[in-house]
Amino acid sequence: MTTGRRYFGVLAGAVISLGLAASSKAALVLVLTEPGYASETITDGGASDIDHTANGSIEFVGTYHDFTTTIDVATSNSPGVGGGGEISLDAVQIKTNAGTPTGRYSLTLAVEDNGFTLPATGTVSLTSTLGGSITTAAVGDTISQTSFIDTANNANASVSPTATAPVASYSSSSNSPQAYAQTTSNPSTLLSGPYSLADVVALSIANTSVINANADTQTAASVPEPTSLVLLACGGLFLHRRRKAAK
pLDDT tens figures, 5-19: 443 343 344 333 433
- Helix then strand count (H, E) for the chain reads 2, 13
Share of the chain above pLDDT 70, in %: 81
Residue 214: count of CB within 10 angstroms of its CB:
18
- Residue 160: what are its φ and ψ, rounded to 5°? -135, 65
Residue 121's Cβ-count burial label (10 Å; 0-12, 13-18, 19+) is exposed
Q: Which of 23-32, 176-185, 211-220 has the lowest mean pLDDT?
A: 23-32
CB–CB of 210/134 below 8 Å?
yes
Report which of residues 55 and 236 the model is more confident about: 55
Mean pLDDT of 44-56: 90
What SS3 state is found at 94? strand
Taking alpha carbons only, the member of 132, 95, 102, 119 closest to residue 223 is 119
- The whole-number pLDDT of residue 53 equals 81
Quickly count: other Cβ atoms within 10 Å of residue 243's Cβ: 9
pLDDT grade for 165, boundaries at 50, 70 and 90: very high
Chain center to CA of 48 = 21
Give the pLDDT score at 235: 44
Predicted confidence at residue 52, as pLDDT, reads: 80
Q: Is 221 helix (H, G, I), strand (E, B) or coil?
A: strand
Burial category of 210 from C-beta neighbours within 10 Å (exposed 0-12, middle 13-18, buried 19 and up):
middle
Residue 64 Cα distances to 166, 198, 201, 223, angstroms: 28, 21, 16, 42
pLDDT (tens digit per residue) in 224-234: 655 443 444 44
pLDDT at 170 over 90: yes
What pLDDT was estimated at residue 51?
Answer: 86
Q: How far is CA 118 from CA 16, 27, 77, 157, in A?
A: 25, 18, 10, 16
Q: How confident is the model at residue 122 (pLDDT cuts 50, 70, 90)?
A: very high
Q: Is residue 190's pLDDT more than 70?
A: yes
- CA dist 62 and 157 (Å) reads 26
Q: Which residues contact 111 (CB under 8 A, 6 or more apart)?
A: 28, 29, 30, 31, 58, 74, 75, 76, 87, 88, 89, 198, 199, 200
What is the full DSSP assignment across 112-141?
Answer: EEEEE-SS-SEEEEEEEEEEEEEEE--TT-
